[in-house]
Amino acid sequence: MGDFESIWRNLQAVPFEQGYLDVSGCRTRYIHAGDRDKPTLVLLHGSAGHAEAYVRNLAVHGQQFSTWAIDMVGHGYTDWPGHPLEVNHYVDHLINFLDTIGADTSHLSGESLGGWVVTRLAIDYPERVKRLVLNTAGGSQADPEVMKRITTLSMAAAQNPDWETVGARIRWLMADKTRNYDDVIASRQAIYQLPGFVGAMRDILALQDPEVRARNIITTEEYGEIDAPTLVLWTSDDPTADVSEGRRIASMIPNAEFVVMDDCGHWPQYERPEEFNRIHLDFLLGGS
């Protein structure tokens, strides 16, 4: 049991709260750390994920920011709307969330699908964004093999949410497949076992459909419209796209920095939290 990695251990000494907000009729789950009078930071997870993606980052970020990790619409314990989800649905939910917590402007950091969502928001609502972090972000391309892999692993885990299938979905995210991810697997399994989640997963996976994805892709011109200072953070072992794609995204954004973390997969904030937190905070505090 010495190598067991507990989610609770990351939050034991942290003043935090978990709760639900009514976000324009959408019951939205959040985990919050930090004084609410500090600048707002919102952390967004990836496709079929949930707020626990950031349990290793809340403590240090809560010292500097009013830090919110949320379950996006259609995910986790936030309401599932019952229709296929495209990027505009996530953006609308995030804008409504910011309005609900009274944040006219905020720092936004998104991983994978979350990165896609905050990219779109920064393009459509530039006045709402202070600083932007795109962490192994989606939205720049459509790789059929990756889309198929995400769909296969995710539907298998939703249709048969046993330890092996959910574990395979979690380990796919990680560079080190040998570590003990039992607590993360158990947390995700609890969500995937909720009644009706197979339908929710189908709605989540709408963006893996080639036709749907094509109309949601961020174009070169749109990346060029991003005004906010931006950190594009990539990893050596990201299973969705190699480092060259991260570098390409950064090259399209006028005021972007590009950083690569080694020995990480799709969840650098979890696999190497101390390094991630240092890079992340250095960037976010650079303009404060």
Residue 129 belongs to a domain with what CATH number?
Answer: 3.40.50.1820
Q: Is 287 helix (H, G, I), strand (E, B) or coil?
A: helix
d(CA 20, CA 32): 11
d(CA 1, CA 241): 34
Q: Kindly state whether residue 34 falls inside one of the protein's structural domains.
A: yes
Handedness of CA 146, 184, 233, 158 (dihedral sign): positive
Mean pLDDT over residues 142-148, rounded?
Answer: 93
> Phi/psi at 283 (nearest 5 deg)?
-70, -50
Banded pLDDT at 5 (limits 50, 70, 90): confident
Number of domains, the chain: 1
E strand residue ranges, the chain: 16-23, 26-33, 40-44, 66-70, 106-111, 129-135, 230-235, 256-261
Which residues form the domain of 32? 7-287
Q: Kindly state whether residue 221 falls inside one of the protein's structural domains.
A: yes
Closest CA relative to residue 117, chosen from 98, 92, 96: 92
The fraction of the chain above a pLDDT of 70, given in percent, is 99
Q: Kindly state whether residue 1 falls inside one of the protein's structural domains.
A: no
Q: How far apart are the first and last CA of the chain?
A: 42
26-47 pLDDT, tens digit per residue, is 999 999 999 999 999 999 999 9
pLDDT of residue 116: 98
Q: Tell me the whole-structure pTM to 2 decimals.
A: 0.97
254-265 pLDDT, tens digit per residue, is 999 999 999 999
Residue 141 predicted with pLDDT over 80: yes
Q: How far is CA 249 from CA 58, 82, 102, 154, in A?
A: 27, 32, 31, 26
Task: Report H helices in 193-242.
Answer: 197-204, 210-214, 220-223
Q: How far is CA 191 from CA 51, 53, 77, in A?
A: 12, 13, 7
Strand partners, 133: 109, 231
Q: Kindly state whether residue 39 falls inside one of the protein's structural domains.
A: yes
CA atoms within 13 A on the CB side of 211: 1
Q: Kindly state whether residue 241 falls inside one of the protein's structural domains.
A: yes
Residue 118 predicted with pLDDT over 50: yes
Q: Kindly state whether residue 11 falls inside one of the protein's structural domains.
A: yes
Q: Kindly state whether residue 251 falls inside one of the protein's structural domains.
A: yes
Report residue 185 CA to chain centroid gap.
17
pLDDT of residue 287: 52
Q: What is the rounded average pLDDT for all residues in the chain?
A: 96
Q: Kindly state whether residue 2 falls inside one of the protein's structural domains.
A: no
185-216 pLDDT, tens digit per residue, is 999 999 999 999 999 999 999 999 999 999 99
